[in-house]
């Protein structure tokens, strides 16, 4: 099967991130973090729409039929897709202005997991947070510089993440029916493929796909952590991935023009959104905020691990 890489016919992002496919409407959502836009494109019809928000936007998760859960720089909100109103669910105060929420996605129990990023050269004050439907926020990990690659296997019992400054993908056992998060262990080391692992997604076979922001590559690791393949895209800096399309066999890849940190590019493909086909694998349906939350327990267990 021949791999094909095509640009999606929409304008580019400053800092594209957080793609998620909504199978109920056959459309892709993603964000332009620094452009402060939530974006939606339906490939079958070519229909496009976007919504402006008041702050830097971190990531999104599917929610109800007409809303999304949204992480802004220092809060979690619900975005009404009809009115455009963004209502705060919970504030997430950060230790200083150079730290903000960033990459994330929903788990299989309908909770939004979002990391934070340190945008200066200061202390490792980044963390990974979990937002429950009722508005409670837990800290799952601390002591990070740029928390990225949050994703879950199909059963929801393995959570993956990375610190982009370190370059090692971690995995931990994760209770999809409760609150337990296990001790993290090394899953895969991306450093032999260049620095900067960013957003990630898991396919139906348990393979982990991860965007390498510095090298413009997407890597796939098998479920046992062994390296499988590398795909080079036309843009120099990639930020995140997700599976979409009617058969969940299209890999959508967001890219970057300017992070206002270490990366800036005037390459003509920088910031474009790409669709990759012919991969021979399919993704899994993403979690939807609150929709599976009935399975979780009402007891909140706080963790403050520094692993």
**CA–CA dist 306, 278 (Å, integer):** 40
Average pLDDT over residues 40-53: 98
All structural domains of the chain, each given as residue ranges with its CATH number in brackets, are 4-295 (2.120.10.30)
Per-residue model confidence (pLDDT) at position 297: 29
**Per residue, what are the HEC states of 60-128?**
EEECCCCEEEEEECCEEEEEECCCCCEEEEEECCCCCCCEEEEEEEECCCCCEEEEEEECCCCCCCEEE
**Close Cβ partners of 248 (under 8 Å, ≥ 6 residues apart):** 21, 23, 204, 282, 283, 284, 285
Q: What is the pLDDT of residues 166-205, one digit of tens each?
A: 999 999 999 998 899 999 999 999 999 998 999 999 999 9
* CA 30/CA 161 separation, integer angstroms: 19
* pLDDT higher than threshold 70 for residue 287: yes
pLDDT at 262: 85
pLDDT at res. 182: 97
Mean of pLDDT values over 21-38: 98
Residue 302 in this model has a pLDDT that exceeds 60: no
Say what the pTM is: 0.94
What residues does 72 pair with on adjacent strands?
57
**Nearest alpha carbon to residue 29 among 259, 240, 256:** 240
At 307 the pLDDT is 34
Contact call for residues 256 and 270 (beta carbons, < 8 A):
yes
In this predicted model, what pLDDT tens digit does every residue of 231-248 receive, in sequence order? Answer: 999 999 999 999 999 999
Q: Which residues of 182-211 are buried (b: 16+ CB within 10 A; e: fewer)?
A: eebeebbebeebbebbbbbbbbebebbbbb
Give me the chain's average pLDDT, please: 94
8-26 residue pLDDT tens: 999 999 999 999 999 999 9
CA dist 211 and 150 (Å) reads 12
For residue 304, name the pLDDT band (cuts at 50, 70, 90): very low
């Amino acid at each position: 099967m021949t791999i094909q890489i095509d640009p999606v016919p929409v304008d580019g992002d400053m800092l594209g991130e957080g793609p998620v496919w909504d199978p109920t409407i056959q459309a892709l959502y993603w964000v332009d973090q620094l452009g402060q836009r939530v974006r939606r494109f339906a490939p079958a019809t070519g229909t496009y729409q976007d919504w402006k928000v008041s702050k830097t936007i971190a990531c999104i998760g599917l929610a109800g039929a007409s809303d999304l859960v949204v992480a802004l720089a220092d809060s979690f909100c619900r975005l009404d897709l009809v009115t455009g109103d963004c209502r705060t669910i919970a504030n997430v105060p950060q230790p200083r202005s150079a730290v903000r929420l960033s990459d994330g996605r929903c788990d299989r129990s309908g909770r939004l997991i979002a990391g934070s990023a340190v945008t200066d050269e200061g202390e490792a004050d980044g963390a990974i947070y979990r937002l429950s439907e009722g508005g409670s926020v837990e800290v799952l990990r601390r002591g990070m510089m740029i928390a990225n690659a949050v994703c879950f296997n199909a059963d929801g019992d393995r959570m993956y993440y990375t610190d982009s400054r370190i370059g090692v993908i971690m995995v931990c056992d994760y209770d999809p029916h409760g609150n337990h998060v296990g001790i993290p262990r090394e899953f895969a080391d991306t450093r032999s493929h260049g620095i900067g692992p960013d957003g990630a997604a898991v396919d139906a076979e348990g393979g982990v796909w991860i965007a390498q922001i510095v090298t413009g590559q997407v890597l796939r690791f098998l479920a046992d952590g062994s390296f499988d393949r590398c795909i080079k895209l036309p843009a120099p800096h990639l930020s995140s991935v997700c599976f979409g399309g009617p058969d969940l066999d299209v890999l959508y890849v967001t890219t970057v023009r300017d992070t206002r940190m270490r990366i800036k590019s005037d390459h003509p493909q920088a910031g474009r959104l790409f669709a990759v086909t012919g991969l021979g694998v399919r993704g899994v349906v993403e979690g939807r905020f609150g929709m599976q939350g009935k399975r979780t327990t009402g007891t909140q267990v706080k963790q403050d691990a520094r692993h």
